[in-house]
Amino acid sequence: MYPLIRNRRLRASESVRRLVRETTLTPDDFLVPLFVVEGKGVKEGIASMPNYFRLSLDNLEKEVKELWKMGLCSVLLFVKVDDKLKDNKGTEALNPNGLMQRAIKTVKNACPQMLVMTDVALDPFSSYGHDGIVAEGQILNDETAEVLAEMSVSHAKAGADFVAPSDMMDGRILTIREALEDEGLINTGIMAYSAKYASAFYGPFRDALDSAPVDIANVPKDKNTYQMDYANRHEAIKETQMDIDEGADIVMVKPGLCYLDIVREIKNEVEVPVAVYQVSGEYAMVKAAAEKGWLDHDAVVLEQLTAIKRAGADIIASYFAKDFIRTLG
């Protein structure tokens, strides 16, 4: 009791604060999202995501080499495909010489030890901008899961270490796991987007990949029938546990900052690593406010990332990964 116990003694200097700090960040905490496009020499800015870029394969090679030198050893790949290659069934996603498959090989050839995770969902390949097949105003669940399984096998055969289904179809983890097992791809991991909420924070990401749902008749105008209601907490535990039971090696909560209660709930319940995706809208808000001079960019980034890890994240997928490393000097 006070005055025998004075908590401020452990805050008296930077040295003692560092000594007793409960949560610290290292490069090993980060999964770096990368956007890939066709072409050569392409480093294309994204207006709603300042200082983030779509990269052609030659620049992807340079980027992963730079990341590795910075101590960042894991990437999450996304592709932006030409509209002419899109259809309702995501056929291009299964092309063994497709952009994703070539991107995987590019990363592995440039930096063999880099851990490669790949986005598994139909929206970048869908003419409707949805994560699944559309029929009569509905998103077909089981038919979509079968395509996602084929997609996962294709990524694994190209060299992906983990596939990361971000679609939120029921049962897709089991379908994917069984497909990988049937092909002898027993060491390919699955990072499941287990608690992915229907969030307003995804806008800049959809700009980056041109993957927003289209506004036409008989097509759902949002993703609320498969992504989770952001008002729900217990549902996240149920979804996550089901994914683990179906074979997920890592589970994810998305978005990050507004869902730290969910991160802690899940961390308390499960025995697999928990990833958190600090999404594009979170990134864009900090960049915009810092550009206006309203926030200290580096201080806010560090505080947010620390909060995510403190809440229970073992892995943080973040567009700020390189920014954070640079603050280490």
Active-site entry in 196, 223, 287, 309: 196
* Structure-block tokens of residue 277: 């995706």
* Structure-block tokens of residue 8: 């401020």
Q: How many whole angstroms separate alpha carbon 217 and alpha carbon 149?
A: 29
Q: How many whole angstroms separate alpha carbon 41 and alpha carbon 26?
A: 31
* Structure-block tokens of residue 297: 């960019």
Q: Is the peptide bond before 112 cis (omega within 30 degrees of 0)?
A: no
254 in active site = yes
User: Quick one: DSSP state of residue 272?
Assistant: S
Continuous H helices in 191-296: 203-209, 234-245, 260-269, 280-291
Q: How many whole angstroms separate alpha carbon 90 and alpha carbon 127?
A: 8
Distances in whole angstroms, Cα of residue 311 to Cα of each of 62, 204, 237: 34, 25, 15
Pairing of strands 315-318, 274-278: parallel
Per the CB < 8 A criterion, the answer to whether 119 and 164 are in contact is yes
Exposed e or buried b per residue across 120-131, where buried means at least 16 C-beta atoms within 10 angstroms of its C-beta = bbbbbbbbbbbb
Active-site entry in 86, 89, 223, 254: 254
Three-class SS state of 70: coil
Q: Collect all residues with Cβ–Cβ distance below 8 Å to 94 and sequence separation of at least 6.
A: 147, 150, 151, 154
Q: Collect all residues with Cβ–Cβ distance below 8 Å to 37 and sequence separation of at least 6.
A: 44, 54, 55, 56, 79, 80, 99
Question: Mind telling me the catalytic residues?
Answer: 196, 254
